[in-house]
Structure 1
Amino acid sequence: MRMSRLLLSRIVVLSAAMLLVALALAVWQARRDVEHEAQGARQTARLLDALGGLHGAPADEIPRRLRAVQSILDSGEMRHLRVILRDEAGAVLAHSPDAAGPRLQAWLFAVLGGSADDEPSVHWTLRGGDGRRIEVEMAVDRASEQQEALDALFDLLAILLAFGTLVVLASVLTVRQVLSPLHGILHAIEGYRSQDYARRAPRGRSEEMNAIADGLNHLAQALAAAQEARRGLSARLLTLQEAERAHLARELHDEFGQVLTAMRADATWLARRVRGDATLEAVAGELVRQCERASLEVRDLLRRLRPALHETDAQVPLRRMLEELADSWRGRAGRPMAVELDLDAAVDALPAPLALALYRLSQEALTNAARHAQAVSVRIVLAREGDGRLRWEALDDGVGLRADGQEAIHGNGLVGMRERVWAHGGELAFLPADPDTGRGLRIRACFPLAEAVAEE
């Protein structure tokens, strides 16, 4: 059903229900007013009967009949009339109760322009059996009329207020019910912003909401499929990159390494042959040293291209590889760097792709710390979290990132680290190692171990 029709139908049904309630209240109010009028009429009839009984009544009966008249006047059920009975001397024998203090209705009607003058009264004389005269004065009780009108006005206002409140409440509830899927849709959109495409937008009761939810869910499925395809492609590219590095390492070792070995042997032989000739001996010695230096450079390049793996290794020996990597930085000539490893047992049972990724992350973190951050110490942490994820961290005491964090986006190998972490379904964050001073860099990556084990 379309949203406009759904809202209209709900509002019509609720309005009809509230109209029935208002009608029931109006009928109840009318019945109450009729009952009050009937009571007033009965009391008026009783009053007239009691007044008629005073005419010609014996002297000893007059006090009792006056008390009966006063009882009728004091009942509060007399409507619209004010009655006063006086004797020949003008003394009041019975009278309607006076209004207690100023009345709201009199003030209200005065503000609205109503007259506050008393209505003209009607007088007649009753004679008792002993010839005593009783003057009867009867006039319209304007205050009673005003009070009745004011009560009716307040009742109407109360009904209108209740009806308006119910209309607003019903409208709010209807709109909230119809638009309730929006909360789920916004929740799903927030997830899509953070690349959480597993969330789904809920369907509602209107065609428009269902169309939006279906479109978002279809988009999420397409984005999730594209993300998985891109992640798989990235993982395959990283695998090909490792294979290419291994191939280059073998070529360097087999070809260039053998050539350097032969050159070093020839240079050593030449140095022995030219002993006694200081000039040729110095040249031959320098040639030997250059060959040794080239061999060390090639060995270091081989170590960076391909960590020390054996063909018989069932798993990647990540612990041994990280220890060798740390030793190579600690013993580096010129500017050694203190490297601390904090590895738990999770490092010994990781699948090869993830283990190689962690090795490359550590390698890149050490390189950036030495070349760009001027760090003198680095700490590598690898631990299993309580939620089942694997946490890798690299903390250095260098200069840290720029305030705008551009290094984490452009250059310095950090982009490659982000791509490598993303390819294995992880999350990467760049934080200051010391939040107070802003110095140092903490690179943190978290990997879902369940997915990592599934890859194995």
Structure 2
Amino acid sequence: MTVYRKISLLMLAVFLLIYLLGALFYIQQARHDVQRELDGVAGLAQSLESPDGLPESVVSGMRHLTPAGDTGTEVSRDVPAWFSALIAREFHRPVVNGWQVDPADEVEEIWEGFLLVSGAYAIGTCLCFLALFVMVRRGMRTLASLSEAMGAISAGQLTSRLPRQQEQELDSLICRFNSMAEALQSEQQTVSRLLNELLRLQDREREHIARVLHDDLGQYLTGIRAQARSLLYDPGLNDRQKKQASDLAENCETIQRHFRHLLQDLHPLVMEQLGLGSAIRHLTEQWQQLSGLECRLAMDDRLPEFTGEQQTHLYRFLQEALNNVSRHANASCATLAVALNATELSIEVRDDGVGNDCLPDNAGLGVRSMRERARCLGGEVKFFSRMGEGTRIRLAVPLSRLCPIPGSIV
């Protein structure tokens, strides 16, 4: 039940109670007035002659007095019988000097007054309910706006604000909501800055570790492998020792192969050397080798120019999306599409896996990092997934946020 209905029913009960109490007091007062009027009329009848000795016009014009035995003067048919009985049923109607005391005229006047008072009360009640409706509707309109704004806040639109209100109570509520929204927006901005800085620091540390490993450990592995290969041609070694040297060289080659995959995960050097397009192609090839799944790549040859940070965010976004496919989708094939139109760069990753009806509500750290990288790119990421129908991830980045040099090619 709505608040308006509850208030209306409560007010209706109060008005009915007041009306019944007023009617009770009115009837009691009317009975007292009728009794007093009848006593006065009885005294008047004693001073009058018998109705037989008076002209007919005088007899018919008498109020509250009728000739004894005359049944032609009943209570007006406009007065309900129950009301007449309620007012005058207990009164004694004496016969005085040939006149019978009759309260019919007085009861009719009381009934007319009762109708006027009831009508005025009904009009006042309707006006009160009309004023209540107007005020409650205005308040409910404000509450509905507040509910919509809170829904927008829960959906992440922290810029929602409500206008001030004239009513003090509603204005106080609106001010508190706006203050809460501003605080949440400020906290979100702070968290976003911290996450952005964390991602930057993470990428810099990955780049630093990759370079150190490539320049130091990679050189050592290459040297060990070369020395092991040279031992194969040493005439002073027997066959057993040469077999050990050959195994050592093969092990070094295996370590180097995994080492290159590790360096690619830490920091894709191919992106610095050949650009983002080549890095994406290399990412899909490497993902197919490691996951054993098919990846179909459809990418425009022309891509907008990115800053180094934007390239890293986009590459990590695609890397996380493909890793989620291999880890959680239970898919046999993935599709990666990178398309450029006049207004935006569109990226879509799709798989034919099991899907998830709760995505992205039950998102883990990987999906959160994808959202944050999309925000850093100035774009919007959407997740579409249904059980048994696979998952589709779409990233749309406006070119105005990406292209410091429009028309440049990566």
Shorter-chain TM-score tier: 0.5 to 0.7
CA deviation after TM superposition for structure 1 residue 202, in Å: 1.8
Instruction: Verify: 1:224 aligned to 2:170, yes or no.
Output: no
CA deviation after TM superposition for structure 1 residue 161, in Å: 0.6
CA deviation after TM superposition for structure 1 residue 309, in Å: 2.2
Partner of 1:213: 174
Instruction: Verify: 1:369 aligned to 2:369, yes or no.
Output: no
CA deviation after TM superposition for structure 1 residue 296, in Å: 1.4
Q: Secondary structure in 2 aligned to 1:395?
A: strand
Q: Give the distance between the partners of 1:446 and 1:97, measured in 2 at CA.
A: 95
Pick the aligned partner of 2:315 from 355, 359, 366. 359
For the aligned residue pairs, the C-alpha RMSD in angstroms reads 4.7
Partner of 1:201: 162
CA deviation after TM superposition for structure 1 residue 337, in Å: 1.0
Partner of 1:273: 234
Paired-residue identity, %: 26
Partner of 1:417: 370
Partner of 2:120: 159
Greater shift after overlay, 216-225 or 141-150? 141-150
Residue type matched to 2:315 in 1?
Y
Q: Give the distance between the partners of 2:73 and 2:344, measured in 1 at CA.
A: 87
Q: Give the distance between the partners of 1:227 and 1:121, measured in 2 at CA.
A: 97
Provide, for residues 169-209 of structure 1, a one-character-per-residue CA deviation record: whole Å limited to 9, x for no partner: 22342455467644444443333333322112321224444
Instruction: Verify: 1:339 aligned to 2:295, yes or no.
Output: yes
- Contact between 1:185 and 1:202, CA under 8 Å: does it hold in 2? no
Change (3 A) 1:452 1:181: same
- Give TM-score scaled by structure 2 length: 0.64
Residue type matched to 1:394 in 2?
V
Q: Give the distance between the partners of 1:407 and 1:384, measured in 2 at CA.
A: 31
Q: Secondary structure in 1 aligned to 2:295?
A: strand
Instruction: Verify: 1:309 aligned to 2:266, yes or no.
Output: no
Pick the aligned partner of 2:131 from 157, 160, 170. 170
CA deviation after TM superposition for structure 1 residue 323, in Å: 2.0
CA deviation after TM superposition for structure 1 residue 227, in Å: 2.2
- Contact between 1:430 and 1:442, CA under 8 Å: does it hold in 2? yes
Instruction: Verify: 1:109 aligned to 2:84, yes or no.
Output: yes
Q: Give the distance between the partners of 2:285 and 2:361, measured in 1 at CA.
A: 31
CA deviation after TM superposition for structure 1 residue 239, in Å: 2.3
Instruction: Verify: 1:320 aligned to 2:320, yes or no.
Output: no
Change (3 A) 1:455 1:201: farther
Q: Secondary structure in 2 aligned to 1:380?
A: strand
Aligned residues: 345
Residue type matched to 2:350 in 1?
L
Q: Give the distance between the partners of 2:118 and 2:209, measured in 1 at CA.
A: 92
Residue type matched to 2:280 in 1?
L
- Contact between 2:304 and 2:403, CA under 8 Å: does it hold in 1? no
Change (3 A) 1:262 1:188: same
Q: Give the distance between the partners of 1:431 and 1:149, measured in 2 at CA.
A: 77
Pick the aligned partner of 1:293 from 254, 260, 270. 254
Select the structure of larger CA radius of gyration: 1
Residue type matched to 1:375 in 2?
A
| 4+ runs deviating over 6 angstroms | 78-83, 96-100, 115-123, 138-145, 402-407
Change (3 A) 1:249 1:210: same
Partner of 2:9: none
Pick the aligned partner of 1:329 from 264, 287, 302. 287
Residue type matched to 1:196 in 2?
Q
- Contact between 1:106 and 1:146, CA under 8 Å: does it hold in 2? no
- Contact between 2:380 and 2:397, CA under 8 Å: does it hold in 1? no
Q: Give the distance between the partners of 2:104 and 2:379, measured in 1 at CA.
A: 84
Q: Secondary structure in 1 aligned to 2:151?
A: helix
